[in-house]
Chains A and B, each alone.
Chain A
Amino acid sequence: MAVSISRRKISEAINGYLFVSPWLIIFTIFSIVSLLYAVYLSFTSYNLLKPPQWWGLDGYRRVFDDDLFLTKALPNTFKYVIIVVPLQTILSLVLAFAMDQKLRFRRLFRTVFYLPSVTSSVVISLIFIWIFAPQGIFNQITRLSINWLDDPRTAFYVIMGMNIFTTSGTLMLIFLAGLQDISPSIYEAAQIDGANAVQTFFYITIPMLRPVIFFVVTVGVIGCFQVFDQIFVMTAGGPLDSTTTITYLIYKWAFRDTTIKMGQASALAVVLTLIILAVTVLQRRMIEGSGSMAER
């Protein structure tokens, strides 16, 4: 009896692995192997033309000696995360809350709000380039004459605004699922206790959504640390490096420079991974910490 069960378990396991193997093989080759190779490359000097040469920590030293990284890419990336993550979280929460009410044309609004998220970021970037061109719609409506994407003071904020616009749709959907998961009986109980709408929102909805908020903020932070395609299409890191982020700098070193610095770029990629890891762990501590405080 026992033997036949274990045999069945083994054959089930084999079947299971067989079913996931197409994905697993692709994941191993294109993610795990290339990830480990990038870590290896970060300890080498590699210009694509000659085999990589062991470099030790030189690549990391060069990263932390680089002016562009220290004075532009690093602060820009943090500025981006600090501005975009709260705004996109609040906006998507408000949108989700509105979409949870019994509004007319609710389905239409849901589609409209979600549409930017499923549109290619390159296409949206191009649309924003035209909107914010010197003779674009935005300047015509506001009667301003600012060259938004060519001015170091404004270009980064346009990109931030665009990212908030595109990501809030997906996040709205996640919040919406979270909202519909909250049992109506809790709201009823609150109503009987005499809570008004604002109190219900802050004392019922928000605490009940805490796991969803954690998820949305974490995904948002990771996404914002990796912002690349919009910058690549809209400003290429310019004007005057005002939109150069860590990921764009990695790309510049790895592919743009006359002398390819693949090792140094890989080192920066590893540094970025460590930054994201640290921030995520910190976030988890903070949200879980505050959660247990409130529950007590």
Chain B
Amino acid sequence: MKSLFKLMSVLLAVTMLLTACGTPATPEKVVETIKETVTVKETQIVEVPAQQTVVRLSGWASSPSETALLQSLLYQFSVENPDILVKYEPITGDYKQALLTSIASGTEPDIYYVDIFWWLELATNDVLLPLDDLMSASGVKREDFIPSLVDAFTYNDKLYGIAKDFNTLGMFYNKDLFDKAGLDYPTDDWTWDDLKAAAAQLTDTSDANKPVYGFCTPPDPGRFPAFVFQNGGSVMTDDFSDTTLDSDAAIGAAEFYTSFRAEGSGALPSDLGEGWQGTLFGKGQCAMVYEGGWLIPYLRDQFPGTKYGVVMPPAGPAGEGNLIFTVAWGISANTKNPDAAWRVVNFLTSEASQKTVLESGFALPSRQSLQDSDYLKNNANSAAIFNGSFNGAHPFFWGSVGSDVNDQMGKALERIFKENQPVADAMKQAAEAVRSAMK
């Protein structure tokens, strides 16, 4: 035991020496700047008199830079509204679990992120506050926001959340691989046939260590439904009382989606040893992928050399189809200060704040007026994702059994890919499983 301890301490000393030598000096400066901002904010708050209204605000912390962005917006708010003290309480780890537990114990924050995927569960249980009265009192109109984002958070004609930002799917394509294959770059007018033809021509598996596939098709319920919509189908009926995964349109979409891999022009990320196709796109092993705007900062950080473009997903037999992923600011129905909470939400979704968000390059704003902003004019890639919300986009939301629907879509695709189950059988099995989960 003693000798082990000695060995450990030697190892520790060596590691410390190594890290001391290896750390470059520059990144430390950045950390210090952030610290300074925080200090300034706290000093401001202390100086304000005691009759402040405290509003607690919570969300997940997706990245340090996004957190810093939100903190700078909140700092601006505190300067303009000294009577309100916003306490930012980010949740790391499983956000939904933490939020539901705090709701169950009656200690939830006044303002919190609500994900499109499960917000309705909160609204139907009267946990969320309808925002219409607060909105009209301060002159904010529904029309100010992108219509599909307003629809996404409306239940019984009441609006329960203001989208803080959103994403749709865009088709990312690798320009180098297109040049190498001698193909023209995709455009927003592409159709399924163009996609199919290009995928076959882009595929090059001659190098066994680094095969290139034209189009990657993960068994992902966050990608596949776009094809169902493009084929004129849907995942659920309009009132979410039944699934339509076994409809002809959905089966046709699954046939098209799985045909790439069957014909050798597509692959699953797991075939190539990765969990996410974004990494494979960066490595140049997937020439085309359906991903959201989150891939843009990822490529900038991890694969800065990749030359790529983004267009709207190709249209299917029934036209455009897309998915909207979005998160809204919701206000707790139990809040003691609904007016103060609304002022915070209103500030964070105001045109000025949304412009800051847009220009930071992390997310797309929910304000319709920003469609004509200079930023989107100069950033065609972001614009393709932004404009996706106007072209056949449906919210990524499947009702109260949403997680089961997602599970079953993923499993149906896995069974087709991995166990060669006939497509129609796989989709029927998925639909039956969803129906039994609804009971």
Contacts and interface: CB of A to CB of B under 8 A. Distances in A.
A258 B400 contact: yes
Interface in A220-279: 238-241, 255-260
A48 interface: yes
A117 to B, nearest CB: 15
B433 A49 contact: no
Interface stretch (B142-150, B224-232, B298-306, B401-409): B401-409
Contacts of A135: 273
Given A239-B418, A240-B414, A258 B97 contact: no
Contact of B400 (A133, A239, A240, A259): A259
Given A241-B411, A258-B117, A258-B400, A48 B270 contact: no
Nearest to B120: A258
B415 interface: yes
A258 B125 contact: no
A259 B100 CA distance: 11
A257 B100 contact: no
A67 interface: yes
B270 A258 contact: no
A37 to B, nearest CB: 12
A262 to B, nearest CB: 9
In this complex, the interface size class of chain B, counting residues with CB under 8 Å from chain A, is: 20 to 34
Nearest to A152: B418
Nearest to B96: A255
Contacts of B100: 48-49, 255, 260
Contacts of A150: 270
Nearest to B273: A134
A256 B95 CA distance: 11
A55 B415 CA distance: 36
B266 to A, nearest CB: 16
B4 A111 contact: yes
Contact of B125 (A47, A151, A240): A47
Contacts of B436: 67
A29 to B, nearest CB: 15
A240 B417 CA distance: 12
B4 A258 contact: no
Given A49-B100, A67-B433, A133-B273, A258 B121 contact: yes
B241 to A, nearest CB: 14
B404 A257 contact: yes
Nearest to B104: A48
Nearest to B269: A150
Nearest to A149: B270
Nearest to B437: A257
A111 B271 CA distance: 38
A241 B407 CA distance: 10
Given A111-B4, A258-B121, A240 B411 contact: yes
A50 interface: yes
Contacts of A111: 4
A283 interface: no
Task: From B104, B399, B415, name the one whose CB has the most chain A CB atoms within 10 angstroms.
Answer: B104
10 contacts: A48-B100, A49-B122, A152-B419, A239-B418, A240-B411, A240-B419, A255-B94, A255-B100, A258-B403, A260-B121
Given A49-B103, A150-B270, A259-B121, 17 more contacts: A48-B101, A49-B100, A49-B125, A67-B436, A133-B273, A134-B270, A147-B271, A239-B414, A240-B415, A241-B411, A255-B94, A255-B97, A258-B121, A258-B399, A258-B403, A259-B401, A260-B121
Interface of B: 4, 94, 96-97, 100-101, 103-104, 117-118, 121-122, 125, 127, 270-273, 399-404, 411, 414-415, 418-419, 433, 436
